[in-house]
Amino acid sequence: MKLVRKLIVGISTIALLVMTFVSATYAWFEINSRASVENFRFQVHGGPGFLVSIDNVNYYNDLSLVQMEKAMLTSFDASKYVLADDGSEELSTVVQGEKKILTDTEIHELVNTNLKLLPATTNDGRTFRDQYGGTINVTSGDFVQFSVYFKTTSDIKADDTAYSIYLSGETQTNDKGEAVEPTMITDVTPAELNDKYVRLSADMNLVQAEKLIDDSIVKKVKSKTRSNGDSVLVYSANAVRLSITESVPEKYDIVDENNNPVIDEETGETKQGIRYVVNPNSTLLYELNDTINLNTDLGSYATDYTGGKSAEELNQMITPEGTILEDENLALYCSRFNAMYTYYNNLKADAPITHISYQSKPNTIRDLSNKDVITTIKSGEGSKLLTFRLWLEGWDADCFDGLKYGVRVKLAFGSHKSD
């Protein structure tokens, strides 16, 4: 069994990894109203009150597949792929010193060639490391990134309209009265196949969450050592992570090559431009279990978290009989109880994955019922820029290509009017 085989992302549908294998499947990217990917079509629908854009010039109710692929390529390598700012939405590159406008077919091929999912980790949803501690960025193609501008349909401040957007975990009804499925991350395996689990061949610390009646302790986590040859259900979809980062518009003075202000001849004032500044406190990290298959919940990170316990106390908790842990974070963030970390390093002692030391634990959203607001857009205040990143959490025990066919991601966004 090859551990964490390379997962090639056929990015024709955000992060849907099945187009090459199962052309009839589809994913949804929902914003307030409806959006769907049907076979090789991809659309983003703004819905009532919303418009979306990839260049902040042209705004639509719908974004096509090729528009989204352009957004992915410009995020992948902005120095190589340039989106026109004249409203044409042409994507160009330089070939042998000459500017070349890329065709839709070329864009699609570039996306499928360059973008892939490989094991990575992050504690802030913006900076990433590989399994051996090396820093990786978006130009590696190891994670998928794209950005979309959001704004209200009205640019008039006096209209006083505002919408808050959140990732939806519930079935909704769109503006056409059709049912829209909630956000969903599932494994893709043909129904007739039987290989729905990976047989692990080295000791690992398996952690299982158990809900308790006692309100003072919402969950306790049971840790026990699995012996060689035990079968443990793992689903690659449970290792998929999503982060969403908000950037807000900021005006700046335009200067010439000598750093002198550029004056507008009509107004006599300094010309101003708009740039988008990342709100560092806005990034939300999502860690959602496979809602169709098994919620394995095997642990997600290999960090320094100890819960205040000594090394000796932690070692004593790892017993064949199993120990009840009152701190769920021990299972999720402590390397001694991290299934992937212990399993991989027992199996490959000559090339162990790295213990990750974070100054702060990754805080992930695991339940969408709270409707955590991603961004709020208001009439007359310009657009917001949302950057989406998808990756495989390499320290999660489900980070195996056990099902061979990848994962399917459905993203659904709800909204409500804000004061």
Dump strand ranges (E) for 227-316: 231-232, 240-253, 272-278, 284-286
What tens digit of pLDDT does each residue of 159-206 get?
Answer: 888 888 888 887 776 556 666 677 877 766 555 444 545 555 667 776
Residue in 141, 112, 147, 146 with CA at minimum distance from that of residue 11: 112
Tell me which of 64-78, 221-235, 267-281, 384-398 is least confident.
Answer: 221-235
- Longest CA span, the chain: 80
Asked if 252 and 262 count as a contact pair (C-beta separation under 8 A), the reply is: no
Report the SS3 class of residue 71.
helix
Q: Are strands 364-365 and 413-417 parallel, antiparallel or unpaired?
A: unpaired
Residue linked to tokens 């193609």: 141
The two structure tokens encoding residue 409? 């991601």
Report the SS3 class of residue 352.
coil
The two structure tokens encoding residue 72? 């992915």
CA 319/CA 317 separation, integer angstroms: 6
pTM value is 0.81
Per-domain residue ranges for the chain? 7-194+233-291+366-417
φ, ψ of residue 223 in degrees (nearest 5): -120, 130
Rg of the chain in Å (alpha carbons): 23
Average of per-residue pLDDT across 73-97: 94
Tell me which of 130-139, 245-254, 335-344 is least confident.
Answer: 335-344
Residue in 56, 61, 19 with CA at minimum distance from that of residue 44: 61
